[in-house]
């Protein structure tokens, strides 16, 4: 109970000090709620074709209109949030964790291991994030597990790894010279213990910021890959996919086919970026004061 | 009617009216051929057009893709050809005249004199003989994509340099279509003798245009062959076929970077181009000799059970799909195994008797559920191998939705074309979405897709053996009486749709848009013929 009170107090404080971040968080929570309770939010099936409602404009029955198969766009955006958040969250988690692990190990160990790892990271960083993801997804194809394309998740996660690695390495380099780390070494603690007990907790702030920022990046990347036909396939609802195919063909007759998925992508990226920036300010004592 | 007035008629239509064009297609087709007395062909100019795929080979004998036909056809000649504007009438191409023996077992052709290959050598009956021998008995290292079409030819003789005689084992009702096939191009016997595979990498024929260059991924260029045997033709100085994606093609047409594309656009793409070009656009529409079908792997469960296959067919609302998908895609008419509207096609009254073609969808779906329950597959789920391009994606969405309504779950696995072909040849699929096109409506040409796999392993990929079907196929192939042949075609369709080894979904609608200054091109139900560009001129 005391812990819950403390969390609530912190949330209220965060909202008061970081109103924009709070707005971002609110949007994320709304999206997450839609994703989890999609069946309750809308009663249409996102894959159900309705020839009688093809290319209908926004109305009481279809608030965001319908697409060229008569599918309800609001429903597909709500279910699309599930796709975007699942792939975004998983990719960012995998990419940031692997990157952080490599970054901490590289910085803490130093020497030739650091040199070797960082040159490898340099090579991966030389590829633009979209190009790298495109190559990975084209080479790996598709592996569906519980309706999620794991290869797509990895394709998005891989470009995140070097970027996360660099940030966490920089943070680790400044921490490993701290007296308490030297003291732990002198105390005879194992490397793993020092990493987990003293290093990892002190890079958590930049790590959380990275995690939220890269969820936004991952959502954008998933939308881009789906738009290019390399991500999620029809008839699964996904925001990027909704912008591709017939949307481009019918942008004159049915602009809502482009407008609402585009807004959903923009809003989600905006929300995660707002929240990430505010979280950075909130976690950084310099900014907080 | 002259070109201009026809174009005005089309351009004054609203989009909704334009959607009705498929019904008027043949009429528009006829109008499209009209060339007023003042429209005398003019010489000169270079035609630029788009092709959306790269040619996998230069050898017309070894492929079936339009990507080859739309580039290579202007370079080659065939023995016979389809008469422009009067499909399916057959006229001579290299052949000046011909006679057919009363027993239909001997075909004698007289070639035009003074036909030259692009290298200046004379084309004689020997070149025709060697080319046809290559088609029916390809040498080692060469494949002949349509080899089964030549099984009834017993021998080919050349009594003199301009005469060629085909003797048949037995009557082949489709042999004249075989002689007119645009795929059966004539190569140089001398060059084939030196290298039987020369057409794979070298373009050297006797067609209206000489090959200039091919830059992979960019363009293909041809120039007028001044010694072409048809006097005064071709009219164009040359042509440039540009490789581009479908979306780029629409923009290139709208921006006048290209003058034409001869395969086909979607209704919406047509509207976008017509809107951009205004009076400078002309459109042609026709039911397409191309249909979408679903192949089942009949060697694998659950599709080794005809009840399951029939249930899938029953669940598809083809009539509803046709009426609505035709507004947003190239999918069009409901039909059986032969093109709707052709002289071999079934009437609607005949079609509604087939499983999955009845108009009472509630009854169809109830019967489909009953069949699945009886077969023990009430909660059936399967993977459909599909191509990652339109209108395959649209068809996949349609099928998934239709089957969902009988409780069948389908995973639509959209793959690149190489993986799609690989699944076909390896048999590594449960169900595969496919399309099939031919150069003529002749039943032998089109029914071959549905015969036993061991008879035509390259095209009949459903891995089923049905000798009753094969027997009907063979009987219609020999039947020269059209009425009797049509009855056999109906029996074939009845048998196939009852067993449902592969099921037709919908036929395509061909929509061709080009600049109005492109004249002399002929619309047809297939994109494989009338592509030698000999009659095209620029206004």
Smallest CA–CA separation between B64 and chain A, in Å?
26
Given this model, what pLDDT does residue B429 score? 95
Residues B122, B257 share a domain: no
Q: Is residue B22 over pLDDT 50?
A: no
Distance CA B139, CA B156 (A): 16
Distance CA B247, CA A108 (A): 51
Region B345-360 average pLDDT:
94
User: What is the pLDDT confidence band of residue B12, given thresholds at 50, 70 and 90?
Assistant: very low
Distance CA A95, CA A83 (A): 18
Q: Which residues of B touch A (CB under 8 A)?
A: 15, 247, 266, 268-269, 272, 320, 323-324, 327-328, 388, 390, 393-394, 396-398, 400-402, 404, 411-414, 419
User: What is the pLDDT confidence band of residue A75, given thresholds at 50, 70 and 90?
Assistant: very high
Given this model, what pLDDT does residue B38 score? 54
Smallest CA–CA separation between B229 and chain A, in Å?
45
CB contact under 8 A, B396 and A48: no
Distance CA B482, CA B186 (A): 30
% helix / strand / coil in chain B, to the nearest 5?
35, 20, 40
Chain B residues in contact with A253 by the CB 8 A cut-off are 15, 268
Given this model, what pLDDT does residue A289 score? 55
Region class of B500: left (phi > 0), else alpha (psi between -120 and 50), else beta: left
Q: Single out the residue in B201, B216, B245 at which a domain terminates.
A: B201
Q: Is residue B33 over pLDDT 50?
A: no
Q: Is residue B356 over pLDDT 60?
A: yes
H/E element, B47? strand B46-51
Higher pLDDT, B318 or A128: B318
Residues B151, B93 share a domain: yes
Residues B128, B74 share a domain: yes
- List pLDDT tens digits, range A188-204: 888 888 888 888 888 88
Given this model, what pLDDT does residue A287 score? 62
Domains, chain A, ordered by start: 66-288 (1.10.3720.10)
Q: Is residue B147 over pLDDT 90?
A: no
CB contact under 8 A, A235 and B400: yes
Given this model, what pLDDT does residue B319 score? 96
Given this model, what pLDDT does residue B139 score? 93
CB contact under 8 A, A49 and B323: no
Check which CATH number belongs to the domain holding B137 and give it. 3.90.76.10
Q: What is the residue range of B471's domain? A: 288-509
Residues B442, B357 share a domain: yes
Distance CA B204, CA B202 (A): 6
Higher pLDDT, B213 or A243: B213
Structure tokens that stand for B173 in this block: 């009702």
Per mean pLDDT, which range of B22-26, B487-491, B494-498 is the poorest? B22-26
User: What is the pLDDT confidence band of residue B16, given thresholds at 50, 70 and 90?
Assistant: very low
Q: Is residue B298 over pLDDT 80?
A: yes
User: What is the pLDDT confidence band of residue B5, given thresholds at 50, 70 and 90?
Assistant: very low
Helices (H), B376-413: 392-404
CB contact under 8 A, B393 and A48: no
Residues B465, B360 share a domain: yes
Structure tokens that stand for A75 in this block: 């429903």
Higher pLDDT, B456 or B478: B478
Given this model, what pLDDT does residue B20 score? 41
Which of B332, B261, B208, B254 minimizes the C-alpha distance to B67? B261
Q: Strand B431-437 relative to strand B281-296: parallel, antiparallel, unpaired? A: antiparallel
Region B35-53 average pLDDT:
83
Put simply, whether A143 touches B (Cβ < 8 Å) is no
Distance CA B538, CA B531 (A): 15
Residues B178, B132: contact at Cβ < 8 Å?
A: no
CB contact under 8 A, B401 and A68: no
Given this model, what pLDDT does residue B27 score? 38
Chain B residues in contact with A47 by the CB 8 A cut-off are 397, 400-401, 404
Q: Is the bond preceding B234 in cis, omega lying within 30 degrees of 0? A: yes
Per mean pLDDT, which range of A192-201, B1-10, B383-392 is the poorest? B1-10
User: What is the pLDDT confidence band of residue B24, given thresholds at 50, 70 and 90?
Assistant: very low
Distance CA B219, CA A266 (A): 39
Residues B382, B369 share a domain: yes
Put simply, whether A47 touches B (Cβ < 8 Å) is yes
Chain A residues in contact with B410 by the CB 8 A cut-off are none
Query: Which residues on neighbouring strands pair with residue B518, listed in sequence order?
Result: B538
Residues B389, B298 share a domain: yes
Q: Which residue has the tokens 């909202």?
A: A15
Q: What is the number of other CB atoms lying within 10 angstroms of the CB of residue B411?
A: 16
Chain B residues in contact with A141 by the CB 8 A cut-off are 419
- List pLDDT tens digits, range A269-285: 999 999 988 888 887 76
Burial B465-497 (b: 16+ CB within 10 A, else e): bbeebbebbeebbbbeeeeebbebbbbbbbbbb
Given this model, what pLDDT does residue A285 score? 67
Nearest Cβ partner of B328 from A54, A141, A229? A54
Q: Is residue B32 over pLDDT 60?
A: no
Check which CATH number belongs to the domain holding B40 and give it. 3.40.190.10
Put simply, whether A139 touches B (Cβ < 8 Å) is no
Distance CA A208, CA A218 (A): 15
Given this model, what pLDDT does residue A128 score? 85
Residues B499, B375 share a domain: yes
Smallest CA–CA separation between A234 and chain B, in Å?
7
Check which CATH number belongs to the domain holding B407 and give it. 3.10.105.10
Q: Is residue B37 over pLDDT 80?
A: no
Residues B499, B377 share a domain: yes
User: What is the pLDDT confidence band of residue B309, given thresholds at 50, 70 and 90?
Assistant: very high
Per mean pLDDT, which range of A102-106, A143-147, B35-39, B305-309 is the poorest? B35-39
- List pLDDT tens digits, range B432-472: 999 999 899 999 999 999 999 998 887 889 999 999 999 99
Substitution target in B276, B381, B400 with the highest count of A β-carbons within 10 Å is B400
Given this model, what pLDDT does residue B23 score? 40
Residues B455, B408 share a domain: yes
Which of B322, B236, B285 minimizes the C-alpha distance to B532? B236
Given this model, what pLDDT does residue B145 score? 85
Region A19-30 average pLDDT:
92
Given this model, what pLDDT does residue B414 score? 84
Provide the ipTM.
Answer: 0.76
pTM: predicted TM-score of the whole model, two decimal places: 0.82
Q: Single out the residue in B173, B201, B229 at which a domain terminates.
A: B201
Distance CA B499, CA B42 (A): 55
Smallest CA–CA separation between A251 and chain B, in Å?
10
- List pLDDT tens digits, range B96-131: 999 999 999 999 999 999 999 999 999 999 999 999
Q: Is residue B11 over pLDDT 80?
A: no
CB contact under 8 A, B412 and A235: yes
Residues B300, B232 share a domain: no
Residues B282, B7: contact at Cβ < 8 Å?
A: yes
Instruction: Work out how many domains chain B is built from and give that number.
Output: 3
Q: Strand B46-51 relative to strand B260-261: parallel, antiparallel, unpaired? A: parallel
Given this model, what pLDDT does residue A58 score? 94
Nearest Cβ partner of B328 from A45, A48, A246? A246
Coil, helix or strand at residue B241: strand
Question: Number of A:B CB contacts under 8 A?
Answer: 59
Cβ-in-10-Å burial (0-12, 13-18, 19+) of A116 comes to exposed
Substitution target in B15, B274, B324 with the highest count of A β-carbons within 10 Å is B324
Q: Is residue B28 over pLDDT 80?
A: no
Smallest CA–CA separation between A80 and chain B, in Å?
17
Given this model, what pLDDT does residue B10 score? 35
Higher pLDDT, B31 or A138: A138
Query: What is the overall mean pLDDT for chain B?
Result: 90
Which of B445, B350, B336, B337 minimizes the C-alpha distance to B88? B445
Residues B110, B209 share a domain: no
DSSP structure class, residue B347: P
Region B53-58 average pLDDT:
90
Given this model, what pLDDT does residue B161 score? 96
Given this model, what pLDDT does residue B6 score? 32
Q: What are phi and psi of B158, to 5 degrees?
A: -130, 85
Radius of gyration of chain A from its Cα atoms, rounded to whole angstroms: 22
User: What is the pLDDT confidence band of residue B386, given thresholds at 50, 70 and 90?
Assistant: very high
CB contact under 8 A, A249 and B324: no
Given this model, what pLDDT does residue A60 score? 92
Nearest Cβ partner of B324 from A47, A51, A141? A51
Q: Is residue A144 over pLDDT 80?
A: no
CB contact under 8 A, B393 and A234: yes
Chain A residues in contact with B404 by the CB 8 A cut-off are 45, 47-48
User: What is the pLDDT confidence band of residue B3, given thresholds at 50, 70 and 90?
Assistant: very low
Q: Single out the residue in B138, B166, B201 at which a domain terminates.
A: B201
């Amino acid at each position: 109970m005391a812990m819950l009170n403390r969390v609530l107090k912190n949330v209220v404080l965060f909202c008061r000090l970081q109103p924009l971040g709070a707005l971002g968080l609110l949007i994320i929570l709304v999206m997450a709620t839609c994703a989890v309770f999609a069946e309750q939010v809308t009663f249409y099936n996102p894959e159900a074709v309705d020839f009688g409602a093809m290319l209908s404009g926004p109305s009481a029955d279809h608030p965001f209109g319908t697409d060229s198969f008569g599918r309800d766009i609001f429903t597909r955006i709500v279910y699309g949030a599930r796709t975007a958040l699942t792939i975004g969250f998983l990719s960012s988690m995998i990419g940031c964790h692997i990157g952080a692990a490599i970054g901490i190990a590289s910085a803490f160990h130093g020497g030739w291991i650091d040199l070797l790892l960082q040159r490898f990271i340099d090579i991966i960083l030389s590829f633009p994030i979209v190009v790298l993801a495109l190559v990975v997804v084209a080479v790996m194809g598709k592996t569906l597990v519980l309706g999620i394309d794991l290869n797509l998740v990895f394709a998005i996660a891989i470009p995140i790894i070097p970027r996360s690695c660099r940030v966490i390495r920089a943070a680790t380099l400044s921490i490993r010279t701290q007296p308490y780390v030297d003291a732990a070494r002198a105390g005879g603690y194992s490397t793993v213990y020092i990493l987990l007990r003293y290093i990892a907790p002190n890079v958590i702030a930049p790590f959380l910021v990275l995690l939220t920022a890269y969820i936004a990046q991952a959502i954008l990347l998933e939308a881009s890959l789906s738009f290019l036909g390399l991500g999620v396939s029809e008839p699964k609802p996904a925001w990027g996919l909704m912008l591709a195919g017939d949307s481009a063909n019918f942008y004159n007759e049915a602009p809502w086919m482009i407008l609402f998925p585009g807004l959903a992508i923009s809003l989600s990226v905006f929300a995660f970026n707002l929240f990430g920036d505010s979280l950075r300010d909130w976690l950084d004592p310099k900014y907080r004061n | 009617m002259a070109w201009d007035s026809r174009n005005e008629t089309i351009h004054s239509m609203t989009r909704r009216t334009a959607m009705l064009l498929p019904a008027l297609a043949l009429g528009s087709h006829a109008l499209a051929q009209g060339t007023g007395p003042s429209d005398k062909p003019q010489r000169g100019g270079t035609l630029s057009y788009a092709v959306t795929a790269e040619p996998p080979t230069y050898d017309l004998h070894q492929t079936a893709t339009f990507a080859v036909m739309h580039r290579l056809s202007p370079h080659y000649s065939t023995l016979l050809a389809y008469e422009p504007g009067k499909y399916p009438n057959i006229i001579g191409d290299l052949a000046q005249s011909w006679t057919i023996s009363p027993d239909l077992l001997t075909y004698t052709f007289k070639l035009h004199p003074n036909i030259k290959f692009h290298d200046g050598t004379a084309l004689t009956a020997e070149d025709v003989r060697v080319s046809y021998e290559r088609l029916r008995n390809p040498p080692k290292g060469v494949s002949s994509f349509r080899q089964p079409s030549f099984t009834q030819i017993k021998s080919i003789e050349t009594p003199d340099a301009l005469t060629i005689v085909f003797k048949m084992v037995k009557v082949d009702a489709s042999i004249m279509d075989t002689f007119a096939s645009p795929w059966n191009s004539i190569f140089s016997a001398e060059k084939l003798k030196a290298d039987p595979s020369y057409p794979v990498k070298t373009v050297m024929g006797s067609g209206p245009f000489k090959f200039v260059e091919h830059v992979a991924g960019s363009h293909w260029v041809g120039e007028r062959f001044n010694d072409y045997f048809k006097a005064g033709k071709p009219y164009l100085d040359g042509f440039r076929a540009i490789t581009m994606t479908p979306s780029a093609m629409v923009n290139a047409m709208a921006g006048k970077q290209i003058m034409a594309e001869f395969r086909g656009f979607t209704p919406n793409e047509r509207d976008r181009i017509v809107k951009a070009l205004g009076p400078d656009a002309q459109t042609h529409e026709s039911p397409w000799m191309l249909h979408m079908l679903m192949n089942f792997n009949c060697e694998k469960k659950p599709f080794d059970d005809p009840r399951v296959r029939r249930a899938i067919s029953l669940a598809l609302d083809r009539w509803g799909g046709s009426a609505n998908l035709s507004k947003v895609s190239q999918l069009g008419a409901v039909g059986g195994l032969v093109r709707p509207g052709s002289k071999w096609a079934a009437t609607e009254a005949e079609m509604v008797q087939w499983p999955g073609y009845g108009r009472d969808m509630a009854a169809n779906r109830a019967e489909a559920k009953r069949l699945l329950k009886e077969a023990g597959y009430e909660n059936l789920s399967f993977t459909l191998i599909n191509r990652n391009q339109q209108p395959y994606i649209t068809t996949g969405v349609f099928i998934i939705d239709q089957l969902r309504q009988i409780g069948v779950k389908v995973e639509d696995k959209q793959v690149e074309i190489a993986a799609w072909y690989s699944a076909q040849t390896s048999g590594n699929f449960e169900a595969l979405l496919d399309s099939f096109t031919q150069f003529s409506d002749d039943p032998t040409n089109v029914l071959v897709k549905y015969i036993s796999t061991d008879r035509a392993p390259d095209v009949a990929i459903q891995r089923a053996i049905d000798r009753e079907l094969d027997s009907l196929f063979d009987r219609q192939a020999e039947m020269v009486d059209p009425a009797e042949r049509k009855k056999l075609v109906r029996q074939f369709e009845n048998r196939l749709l009852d067993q449902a080894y592969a099921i037709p979904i919908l036929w395509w609608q061909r929509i061709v848009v080009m600049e109005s200054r492109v004249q002399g091109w002929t619309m047809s139900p297939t994109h494989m013929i009338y592509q030698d560009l000999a009659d095209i001129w620029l206004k």
